Structures are given as structure tokens and as C-alpha cells.
Structure 1
Amino acid sequence: MREFATIILAAGKGTRMKSDLHKVLHPIAGRPMLEHLLANLAELTPTHTVVVAGDRHEQLRQALAAHSITVALQEPQLGTAHAALQAKTALADYSGLIMVCFGDCPMVKAETVRRLAAVLEGDARVAVLGFRPADPLSYGRIIADEAGTVRKMVEFKDATDEERAVDLCNSGVIVAHSDDLWRLLESVGNDNAQGEYYLPDVATNAIAEGLQVSVVETGEAEVQGINSRAELAQAEAQWQELKREEAMTNGASLRAPETVFFSWDTEIGRDVTIEPNVVFGPGAKVADGATIRAFSHIEGAEIGPGCEVGPFARLRPGAVMEKGSKVGNFVEMKKAVLGEGAKANHLTYLGDAEVGPGANIGAGTITCNYDGYFKYKTVIGPRAFIGSNSALIAPVKIGADAIVAAGSAVSRDVADGELRMVRGEQLVKPGWADRFHDAMKKKKAEKAEKGK
């Protein structure tokens, strides 16, 4: 593509979301919908991107601070054409193609934009994106011939019954050359039912000038706008379905795909098996041949080749499982490394820990890593054996091949090959329990007799 810039409209109040958060910052798969759109458009390497904000523009400025993006303010909000014009100052020195789209339509693909731009290589001076929804509802209509030349664009409220019967609808996405776009935007009026300056009138004005306007069609799912919590949930479901299909196409097995939820950046290798009801948060990577058992939650974690996770396991940010390691039911890891072939099979917490290759962590073991003010590290050497119900009080090191006896609370380093047993002395009183039971039964019987 030649020189290309984008204007993303995000000035609406988003009242139907009923939220203190700006509409376009609501997440899909753990990522703000605006970030999804920006990532898709980044494939086109735009030279400029301008986001037009209005209500809660401070939130947008903060969210976009890490990007090379200009935020233009629309105040007051007088319609979509007026909003697009607010980007003119930021693009004053730019000459080339400009796409105008909406921040609440995050699924628009780069390939679709390329198709729109390609239309402008011919006789067309303006390209618009249309779609044919199952139910046209109150979408604006595009009246076009079989060749895709647009004869008229009209908002639903201003359309005749005959025009409303047309099923080709306007997505709101438009591409034009800067030389045409600014002129056409400035000529848009507000003589309509809402008294607003509508972006589709760019095409209407181009047609009035005798310029060719062409429509490119795409599927409804790609241009579905998100204006409410229900529509946000629909977009989430749509995204998850595509991600599940992608994972299976690339060689993963999902036992019950509809119950597995991915994050926007989840990486899944080949021959991975994922059982039902698994949730991936941001930053999860799963290598080839791993098995993720049911009801596990994985976020910010790296799972190596051939590892086994769960069921009912939780891997939090900084958790790393090296090749062939295993965590079982009700095991939690955070900022911890489980070495190659190491195992923590039951009811264990590993936080701020480094577990060596081949080590075995017994049921009920915890690394006591926090004193209320600071975090401390536990290091467990290769092939060490930690007995059940042990508390490793950091900072502490357990040596290679060492054994920590079950029920121990270890607060000092354990040397290589050493046995550490930290228990109170067992007191043995033969026959005490029998005498206790006899006495209590007698007492109970006497109490019952008095109560008669």
C-alpha cells in the first residue's frame, strides 16, 4: 500500500455500557477493544494514527501513552463527520490515503483495508465498507449497482421504505485520499433527522460532485459494533471461537472447546491437550506436548515441553515449568521455577521459589515467602525430597539430594544430602486413650440418668 493514515473515532459517551470506563477500553480476551483494532491496523504500517476522543478523553490519553498516536479532542460532539474533521490539524502535513473507522469495531482486518485501498487504484475516489447482516435493523443503507458503484448512502432514519428494504448496510469504515477527504468532510451539512454531521455524507457529497464511490463488502462479524455489555459478550464469544479453531488447526486437542478460554496473547504448541474448563490469562505460553487438565487457570506462565498441569491448578505470573515437570491438583505457583522433571502433585504453594530438576515436593508444602513487608526466595536443589505438610520459611536453601521430613518447619539452610527433621518430641502414654474413653462414657451415662 502507498502512504496510509488512520483516523479512529472514539468520542462517543458509550452510555449503553453503563460504565465508568471508556467504551473502547473494555477488554476482549483481556485486551482493550481499541488495542485489538490498533494491532490489526499495525499490519498496514500506517504513518499516522489519530484517535478522536471526547467523553473521558483522559482515560484514552493514558491508555495510549505508550503508542505513537495523536489524540484529538472533539468538543462538543456534533456527529461522526465533525469528529473526523478534528484530526485535520494532526494530519495537516500528510498526503495520502486516510481510513476513518470506529474504535468500537475492533475486528476490522488489515486485509479488508487493503481491499478498500485497492479500489482507489482505479476510477473510484472514495471507498466504503458494506455488509449484509442477518437483520439490517436500523443500520444506514448503501444503494449500489452490481458493479459496486454507490448511487446513494442514507441513514435509516432518513431512508424511504424502499431504501430500508435494501440489505446492504454501511459499516462506517471509509477510505479516501487526503486531498478529497478534507474537502468532502468540510462540505457535510446537518440537514437530517438528528441534526448531526454524518460521516456517510462524505460519500453522498462525492457522488454529488460526480466522483465515483465504490463499496467493498465483508462479513457482519468483522464490522460488528460494540455498544453494550451484551454486545461485548458476543464479541468475546466470537473472538474465543476463532482462537479455539486456530489452536486446533495448529495441532492442539481441546476436549471441550467451548469451555476453554484464551487470552489475546496465549501461545499454544503442537500436540498440546487441553481438558475442559481451562482459562488462560494474559502472558501464557504452552510448549509442545504439554497437558493442561480440567479447571486450571494459567496467567503469565511458561509451560515447557511435555509438562502436566492440574487438574485444579493455578499458575500465576512468573511461573515457569521446565521440560517434563508436573503440578497436580490444587497447586499454585507464582514467580517460581519448577525444574526439569520436578513434581509438585498435591495441595502446594510455590512462591518466589526455584526448584531443581527431579525434586519432589510433597502434599501440603508451602514456601513461606512473605513477612508482611518483603518477599524472600526459597531454593530447592536437584533431586531434593520435601515431605508432606512442610513449611519452608524463606530465605532458605535446600541442598541437592536433601530430605526434609514430613511436617517440618525449615528456617535454616539444609546441606546437600542432609536430612532435616523439625518436629516436637512425641509423647507416648500407653492405655491413656482407653482410660479416657471409659471415663467419658461413664460421665455421659451419669448425666443422662440425672436428666430422667
Structure 2
Amino acid sequence: MAIALIVLAAGQGTRMNSDLPKVLHRLGAAPLVAHALAAGRALEPERVIVVAGHGAEAVTKAVARLDPEAEVVLQEEQLGTGHAVAQALPALAGFEGRVIVLYGDTPFIRPETLEALAASPADVTVLGFEAADPGRYGRLVAQGATLERIVEFKDATEAERAITLCNSGVLACDAAVLARLVAGLGNDNAAGEYYLTDVVAAARAEGLAAEVVTCPEAETLGINTRAELARAEALFQARMRAEAQENGVTMTDPATVWFALDTYIGRDVVLGPNIVFGPGVTIESGATIEAFCHLEGCHISRGATIGPFARLRPGAELAEDVHVGNFVEVKNSILGEGVKVGHLTYLGDADIGEGTNIGAGTVTCNYDGVFKHRTTIGANAFIGSDTMLVAPVTVGDGALTASGSVITNDVAPGALALGRAKQVSKPGLATKLFERLRAQKASLKKGA
């Protein structure tokens, strides 16, 4: 069956006390809304509609970056969840299939749970959970899997408040049925809002089938405050660490390794302590990341060793058996098989051939203040310590640069390039200079 997603992301999130829309606060190095989009994308939906309101321009830009195929619609006034869904329905014109409504501030719902919602044969299916403390959640009055009605806490009887099966707000519905039921919603309530939950009663009134699919309470956690965001981050990291270990990753101190939503790590990778993954990191099997490394937007191949104290930035592509050592930064650069960059080096906008050794203190001078330029180094070259490579520049296969050189012109394959001033020594001059300076210092002290 065809699937469409509606992701509600229009709320201001006043309890976050922030100018940033709530769904753009980050969890696992990604906006909250990215988690809902990622879970929903696992169903391979035909259409994805995101409803934006507060901070719509920023939300639209973020969604375009996260999911270019998603469409953003505007809810100019926030008049409830039913009203938000109504804004999305015109974008689903002509769609025939099942619509799943998600929330941009509920990041933990698993794809498997959404698959169960999608597979439900009922006209309307609501996602529920057994709450340890039901509090003020809406209660699901059900007989087995059959949902009779949703009762808001303020309207519930004592017997209904004793029910622990609660409403997550997430639901699935046939597209045509959803459009008809939402069109009939009213706002005769204390808040004057249109509640999506009212579609269950409307469906039952028509004699349609309504069901409940359940999930663990932890999946339904919504984020409303900074404290809840911090707790969610801890839960997210714990889950990612557990998954990594189950997938064959060794972590010497798991509590100090921080993952992003899209971090991918192969089996038999070893992670030292105090490692931070930003977005877009892929590490192939058998690589080692030593302590105190920060990685984002990079690809690390089999057998590579990184760190300690290394930083890989977006566009860093490392082939098999590359070594990047301590206090090395790599950005937008391709390092061929077996390249060694031991320490104290910056490689930006560079292509490094296989087997090349980059000496300590090497810098690719890639920025002229206006434009970025590339440095190309061939295979099996040797770049001496403290070499400044002023891009654009090419060093050929098997070439050598002398330590302390500033390389401004291309170096032919097999050539030795020296680009430093001639050393001049003045016998005895250091002694004379020190004597003069010490005398001046003593004179100043005496005068004080």
C-alpha cells in the first residue's frame, strides 16, 4: 500500500525559551524533525508533507537540507493538530493510500512501529502506549485492539482516568477517510482548537473501524523543555552505544563516545574514549579511532587509524590503511591508500596519492582570502616537515619537498623542491646581543 507522511512541525515550543523553532533544536547532532523524517523514510513513502508555522522560513530551509523531496506547507495560525493536518491535505490531492501523521518533536518512534501502523487494516489506527504514570495524557478506551474512543484527561471519569493505555497522538488513516473526517472537525472546546484526536469519534460515528497499535512508552517521548532535550540526548546516546556494541564495535569507554543520528560504523571498529561524531560519518570495518577525536562529514576506509586528537571535517575521504595522527585536521581532501599524516598538520582542499608521507607541521595554504584552491600531491611523495604548500600547486609522484620549504610552483615527479631562505650565521653575535639586552634589563631595574 502507498504511504504518505504528514509531519507536524509548526509549534513554537514556548517552554524551550528560545528564538529557534522547537523542531530545530538538536538531538544526536541533528534537528528533532530529522528523527521523525528518518523514521518515516524507512517506509519509502510516496509523499512527505511537513507542516511549518513558527519559524517557518528556518524550518523550510532545514527540511530542504534534510529531505529535498519533502514538501513544506504553512500553518499561519496554530489552531490545533486537526487544523495543522488540514493544511497538509491539499498537498496530498490525488494520493490514494495510507497517511501517517507524525510529530516533529517526538524523535524516538521506530520504523518498526510505523510499519505496524501502516499494516493495520482499520480505517483509523492510533498509536498508544502503556504509561507508567498516565498523568494528563489522553486515555484510549479500547476492547482488545478495537478503539472505542479517546478521552482527554479533563473530560475523563474516575474510571477512565484509571486507564493506563494512553494516546501518543500519532495515527494512520486512509487518505480519503482522513480528508473527510478532518473536514468535519469542530472547535467547540475551551481552547477553540481543532483536535486531530476527534477523528476517532467521527470515524466510529460513521461505523468505521478504529484500532490501537501499541509501542513502548519510551518511543513516544516528546520534547518540550531544555531539560527534556538533555534527558532525550542521554537516552539517544545510550541507544546508539548499545546498537554499536551489538553490531560488533568495540568501545573502551562507551559513556564518552557521542554519536550523531546518521553515524555508520562497521564491525570490528575500535573506538577510544572521548570521541565525538558530527553528522555524516561512515567508518568501514577494522578501522581504529583513538581518543579525543572529532569527526563529521567524513568517510574512513578499512584499516585506517585516526588520532588521538585528530579532527576530520566535511569532505575528508580516507582510503584503506591511511594513518592520521595527533593534532591533524583534514577538510575536503582525499587521502589515497596508505597515506601517513603523523602529526601537527592541516590538509584542506587536497588530493594526496597513495603511499605518500606528510611531515609534521605541513599546511596546505588553500585560501587566498576570496577563493579556495586545491593542492595535488602524487603517489609515494615525501613532504618534509614544516612545508607550506601554497595552492593551487601540484607535487608529482615520488617528489620530495625539503623541510621548512614554501612551495609556490609545481614540483615535477621525482624532483626535490627547496623553497627556503639561505641560512646565514654570524659568529659571536648571539653572545653580544644577549649581553646588551641583559645590561638594558639591569639598568631598568636599577632605575625603578
TM range (shorter): 0.7 to 0.9
Separation of aligned partners in 2, 1:433 and 1:418: 36
Alignment-derived partner of residue 112 in structure 1: 113
1:40 maps to amino acid: A
1:13 counterpart residue number: 12
> Paired residue for 1:244?
241
C-alpha separation in 2, matches of 1:137 and 1:247: 34
Asked whether the equivalents of residues 7 and 36 of structure 2 are also in contact (C-alpha less than 8 Å), the reply is no
Q: Which of these residues, 128, 131, 135, is aligned with residue 130 of structure 1?
A: 128
> Mean Cα displacement is larger for which, 435-444 or 292-301?
435-444
CA 1:338–1:64 in 2, change beyond 3 Å: closer, same or farther? closer
State the Cα distance separating 1:201 from its structure 2 match.
2.1
Q: Distance in 2 between matches of 1:414 and 1:295?
A: 36
Q: CA deviation at 1:333?
A: 1.2
1-structure distance, mates of 2:411, 2:119: 70
Looking at structure 1, the residues matched to 59 and 439 of structure 2 have their Cα atoms a distance apart, in angstroms, of: 76
Task: Report the CA distance shift for 1:302/1:130 in structure 2 as closer, same or farther (over 3 A).
Answer: same
Following the alignment from structure 2 to structure 1, what is the Cα–Cα distance between the partners of residues 187 and 56?
A: 25
Distance 1:212 1:374, change over 3 A: closer
Following the alignment from structure 1 to structure 2, what is the Cα–Cα distance between the partners of residues 294 and 197? 52
How is 1:53-452 mapped onto 2 (pairs within 5 angstroms)? 53-65=52-64, 67-120=68-121, 124-145=122-143, 147-178=144-175, 180-208=177-205, 211-434=208-431
**Range with greater deviation from structure 2 (253-262 or 187-196):** 187-196
SS for the counterpart of 1:86 is: helix
Q: After superposition, give the CA deviation of every residue in 1:404-427 in whole Å (9 maximum; x if it has no partner).
A: 222222222333333333333333
Shift of 1:218: 0.6
Conserved? CA contact 2:139–2:160, under 8 Å: yes
> Could you say what secondary structure the match of 1:392 adopts?
strand
Q: Deviations over 1:324-382 (max 9, x none)?
A: 12111111112222232221111111122222222222211112222212222222233
Indicate if the aligned counterparts of 1:29 and 1:263 stay in contact, CA closer than 8 A.
yes
Letter matched to residue 363 of structure 1: A
Per-residue Cα deviation, 1:53-81 (whole angstroms, up to 9, x for no partner) = 33333444444456444444444333222
Q: Does the 8 A contact of 1:400 with 1:416 survive in 2?
A: yes
Change (3 A) 1:328 1:118: closer
Structure 2 gap segments, 5+ residues each: none
**3-state SS of 1:330 partner:** strand
**Measured at CA, do residues 365 and 150 of structure 1 come closer, stay the same or move farther in structure 2, by a change above 3 Å?**
same
Aligned pair in 2 of structure 1 residues 377, 60: CA closer, same or farther (>3 Å)? closer
Amino acid across the alignment from 1:11 = A
Distance 1:447 1:315, change over 3 A: closer
CA distance in 2 between partners of 1:15 and 1:74 (Å): 17
CA offset digits 1:193-226 (Å, max 9, x no partner): 4333322222234445555533221112212122
Using the size of structure 2 for normalisation, the TM-score is: 0.88
Q: What is the percentage of aligned positions where both structures have the same residue? A: 52
**Structure-1 separation of matches of 2:33 and 2:439:** 76
The 1:25/1:415 distance shift into structure 2, 3 A limit, reads same
Tell me if structure 1 keeps the 8 A contact 2:36–2:103.
Answer: no
For 1:321, the aligned partner's letter is L
Deviates more, 1:93-102 or 1:261-270: 93-102
Asked if residue 52 in structure 1 is aligned to residue 51 in structure 2, the reply is yes
- Alignment-mate amino acid for residue 266 of structure 1: T
* CA distance in 1 between partners of 2:323 and 2:395 (Å): 20
The residue type equivalent to 1:114 in the other structure is: E
Distance 1:196 1:346, change over 3 A: same
Cα pair distance change 1:56/1:447, threshold 3 Å: closer
Change (3 A) 1:320 1:115: closer
The verdict on how the C-alpha distance between 1:393 and 1:446 changes in structure 2, with shifts beyond 3 A counting, is closer
Cα distance between partner residues in 1 of 2:29 and 2:83: 32
Whether the aligned pair in 2 keeps the contact of 1:310 and 1:327 (CA below 8 Å) is yes
8 Å CA contact 1:157–1:193 kept in 2: the answer is no
Q: Normalising by structure 1, what TM-score?
A: 0.87
How much has 1:179 moved relative to structure 2? 5.0
| Residue type of the alignment partner of 2:87 | Q
CA 1:375 to 1:114, structure 2 compared with 1: closer, same or farther past 3 Å?
closer
Give the stretch that moved more between structures: 209-218 or 291-300: 209-218
Retained in 1: the 8 A contact 2:347–2:363?
Answer: yes
Contact 2:327 2:343 in 1 (8 A): yes
Distance 2:28 2:393 in 1: 39
C-alpha distance after superposition, 1:105-156 (max 9, x if no partner): 2333332233234442xxx5432111123332321122334x2333442112
Counterpart code for 2:53? G
The offset of 1:447, in angstroms, is 7.3
**The residue matched to 1:347 in structure 2 has which SS?**
strand
Structure with the greater alpha carbon radius of gyration: 1
For 1:101 and 1:442, locate their aligned partners in 2 and report how far apart those are by CA, in whole Å: 78
Contact 1:158 1:192 in 2 (8 A): no
Unaligned runs of 5+ in 1: none
Aligned partners of 2:321, 2:350: CA distance in 1, in Å? Answer: 18
